[in-house]
Homo-oligomer: A and B are copies of this chain.
Amino acid sequence: MTTTIFDASRAGRSNRQHAPQDSQTPLDIPERFLRKTPPLLPQVGELQVVRHFTLLSQMNFSVDTQFYPLGSCTMKYNPRICHVLASLPGFLNRHPLATEGSGQGVLRSLYELQEMLQEISGMQAVSLTPMAGAQGEFAGVAMIRAYHRSRGDEGRTEMLVPDAAHGTNPATAAMCGYTVREIPTNAQGDVDLDALQLAVGPQTAGLMLTNPSTLGVFERAVERMAAIVHEAGGLLYYDGANLNAVTGWVRPGDMGFDAVHFNVHKTFATPHGGGGPGAGPVGVGNRLAPFLPLPVVQKQIRDNGREWFSWMSEKDLPQSIGRLSTFAGNVGILLRAHIYLRMIGAEGLKRVAEFATLNANYLMARLTEAGFAVAFPKRRATHEFIITLKREADEFGISALDFAKRLLDFGFHAPTMYFPSLVPECLLIEPTETETKETLDRFADAMIAIRQEARDYPQRLLKAPLAVPVPGGGIGRLDATRAARKPDLIWKESAVL
């Protein structure tokens, strides 16, 4: 840790250039409403602020500086132009409640995005308002619930989720008041169809599925699964986190899904920002369309023949599950996705899937050749694949975590670790289409070198990382247990000394 901005604070320092002149009018607020002591905020000069945060930024890995084969997370190149154009003053300065007449540029762009997402997913309607994948899931599952309820079908209390599913799936189902029922995976990495058949029933509200799954394989029997669930009266929800593996090749709507969320910060290359903001638009088939979350952009043709874009409200969508965000979701992020889609178009989108898949399969081939154990060696990798370091763990006493930490020293972000949890000592590797073959080769070489180290100097691995190549990168493996046992969550004056 570098000193905090609070350590640099000195009473009386200020940046007058950022504070308005003192107001002439004396404050007319009754005493009882006022704060007695100023809040703990740092008092630092502008240069100090710039220097502190610039130096902090350098202490990060990021796509702009490192290869980030983080499975499920899709850390690909975020085109700078999308950021620059979404940051145009005309977009940034518009108030969410400004008149629609003063926002036809942004509304048209959002409307077009809705249309593009419909086409890409094979769905009939889209709402852009969810602010991340998890909120998109919430919207989807809440719509499923609203649908059943609208039919008086109140007995459906269970949501089916494969055991390999991402944690947000069961968590979402629970937030929507459902009991979660896990469906096991078979040895080939597919959902166990028999188990699914057994699990469905009149209590089944639906199934949440990721396809390609979080195991890095395509659920080959997806149509069968859809049939089973639909026959039981349930609906299918598509977790779009892996949509980037199949864009332009196969569409959730065609596979039989009733609702889908998109992860624009995965599939459509908006930057992840160290933890957001993302956006998680939802698309639905006709059955769920009346329940879409608000607001949604609509297009009308005016008397003068001109197109007019406006927000739909409760009046237009009376059965809507309601609002999920204060205004209209993460508009700025949606603009980035719109721009990205505009730039790559239909062919480009298909290429994304192709080259994400090529890169994953190539890397899998290289690692397989080098003797690493792939979780599903008989399967094609999709855009990602899993290796298990079980053997290495047993033989050398090192873990997937040790491997991951040592990769940091080589200047690579670690793959996703220990997810999905059914594969022991696993790493979920997603190279993305924007990385070069050289980078994949260097990564494979690093993996091989680390395994050699595991054999020769296991102690070194247990201590990794030893020297992450960032300024201040001398930091060693941080103690997570200690952090949780005695939480130190905010800086305190006394802590300085």
Contact = CB atoms under 8 A, between A and B. Distances in A.
A376 interface: no
Contact of A438 (B8, B46, B54, B343): B8
A66 to B, nearest CB: 8
Chain A, interface SS category: loop
Contacts of A65: 51, 54-55, 58
A471 interface: yes
Nearest to A50: B64
A46 B469 contact: no
Contact of A50 (B10, B48, B77, B472): B77
A466 B276 CA distance: 39
Copies in the complex: 2
Given A58-B58, A469-B471, A470-B471, A436 B51 contact: no
B471 A45 contact: no
A187 interface: no
Interface string A56-69: 00100001111000
Interface residues of A, number: 31
A358 to B, nearest CB: 15
B79 A435 contact: no
A65 to B, nearest CB: 5
Contacts of A66: 51
B470 A343 contact: no
Interface string A65-82: 110000000001101110
Nearest to A67: B51
A17 interface: yes
A475 to B, nearest CB: 14
Given A17-B343, A471-B470, A64 B58 contact: no
Contacts of A438: 8
Given A17-B343, A438-B8, A47 B77 contact: yes
Nearest to A468: B471
Contacts of A473: 471
Interface of A: 8, 10, 17, 45-48, 50-51, 54-55, 58, 63-66, 76-77, 79-81, 343, 434-436, 438, 469-473
Given A8-B438, A58-B65, 4 more contacts: A47-B77, A47-B435, A50-B80, A469-B472
